[in-house]
Amino acid sequence: MTNDRKLLIVGNASSILTEKLKSLVGDYFRETRILDNRNFSVHKPFMLLKSVLKARKVLKNYAPSFIILYQIDIAAFFLSFINRKVPVLAVGIGSDVLIMPNKSRLNKFLVTYVLNHCQYFNAGSIAVKERIQQLSNRPVEVTIANLGVEDILPAKKQNIIFSNRLHKDLYNIDRIVNAFARFVKDGKRKDWKLVVAATGKEEELKNRCEILGINDSVDFVGWLNHEQNAYYYSISRIWVSLPASDSISLSLLEAMSAGCIPVCYDVPALKGFLFDNRSAVIVNDFNENFFERALLLDNKDILANNRRKARNFADIDLNRKRFYSIFDKEFNKQTV
């Protein structure tokens, strides 16, 4: 690749996903920088002003050849507002286009403004792609590609249910705890463990476990690095994620790759990718004993098919090529 091109990624600088994006596409460019989006907050006007001024300075001094907005948020809005000449790829990660525009007219305006000032678009699922197209005021082409996952080999499975989504209201970790309490109430399931990773509401969730009488059966393991996550995927029999809204998450693909039985909330992005009673348990009723139903899918053919599906959809080289095709389209156009 021509080595005079520079990439600017606008995203959460501490997120492993932002780093995965940088690793996936960085070789196309001579240099890649990340502009942290965490200080762009309308609730902190002085910090917001400093962040916008910093962004202006980065655009002027770093002079990127291409920008990726990794999440359509307030930072993406201000970058779209101050940028007048650098081509931009907007990445819809899920809730940024599926939920935020529905919360207020202001949120919808911000998201729509970003979409109408970008040249290229990416989504991780058909549902997110269609929502981007609905919110745009013009016909847009959206490339479906994800960051890819490394294959995780299953180990000897243990009676573990693994939850590793963030402790935000969106992800309903409290409902997972409640469901686990129903599951182990049956005397036949007393040897099962719920492993809760990530951080945010540990004390609140621990208190809930104590009230439900399951604190000895629930392990809170905190924030896990890649190797630790892979370990729990490999030994867990069930992986659970119940967000109110989601795309096809990398954690789902990792769990499938590791031979876990997926238990997922019924969100539009999973239509056509997972099928109830075929490859995953799709939850419609939080009060159901869906973990018991998951055991019906503990079948080597089902799990092997899930592994193939995850490998095909999340192949790193294939998804890298899809992102590269976007860059090629822009830079080939510039040379004509």
How far CA 233 is from CA of 134, 237, 297, 308, in Å, comes to 36, 8, 17, 16
User: Can you read off the two tokens belonging to residue 324?
Assistant: 């590269």
How many whole angstroms from its chain centre is CA 287? 26
Same fold, 6-147+316-335 and 158-313: yes
Write down the CATH number for the domain with range 6-147+316-335.
3.40.50.2000
- Residue 265 CB partners (closer than 8 Å, separation 6+): 172, 241, 242, 243, 244, 246, 282, 283
Instruction: Tell me what the pLDDT averaged over the chain comes to.
Output: 94
**Domain-by-domain residue ranges, the chain?**
6-147+316-335, 158-313
Q: What is the pTM of this model?
A: 0.90
What CATH number matches the domain at 158-313, 3.40.710.10, 2.40.50.140, 3.40.50.2000, 2.170.190.11?
3.40.50.2000
**The pLDDT value given to residue 334:** 77
**Mean of pLDDT values over 36-54:** 92
How far CA 239 is from CA of 8, 77, 163, 175, in Å, comes to 34, 35, 6, 14
**The pLDDT value given to residue 109:** 96
Q: Which has more pLDDT, 271 or 322? A: 322
How far CA 9 is from CA of 34, 185, 284, in Å, comes to 5, 48, 37
Terminal Cα distance for the chain, rounded: 17
Is residue 7 helix, strand or coil? strand
d(C-alpha 37, C-alpha 275), whole Å: 36
- Give the dihedral of Cα atoms 206, 208, 211, 214; nearest 10 deg: -60
Is residue 274 helix, strand or coil? strand
Confidence of residue 30 (pLDDT cuts 50, 70, 90): very high
d(C-alpha 11, C-alpha 15), whole Å: 8
**The pLDDT value given to residue 336:** 57
How many whole angstroms from its chain centre is CA 5? 27
Structural contact between residues 313 and 274, judged by C-beta atoms closer than 8 angstroms: no
d(C-alpha 68, C-alpha 98), whole Å: 19
Edge to edge, the sheet with strand 281-283 lists 218-222, 193-197, 158-163, 236-241, 261-265, 281-283
Confidence of residue 277 (pLDDT cuts 50, 70, 90): low
**The pLDDT value given to residue 255:** 97
Structural contact between residues 98 and 132, judged by C-beta atoms closer than 8 angstroms: no
**The pLDDT value given to residue 1:** 46
pLDDT in tens, 111-157: 999 999 999 999 999 999 999 999 998 999 999 999 999 999 999 99
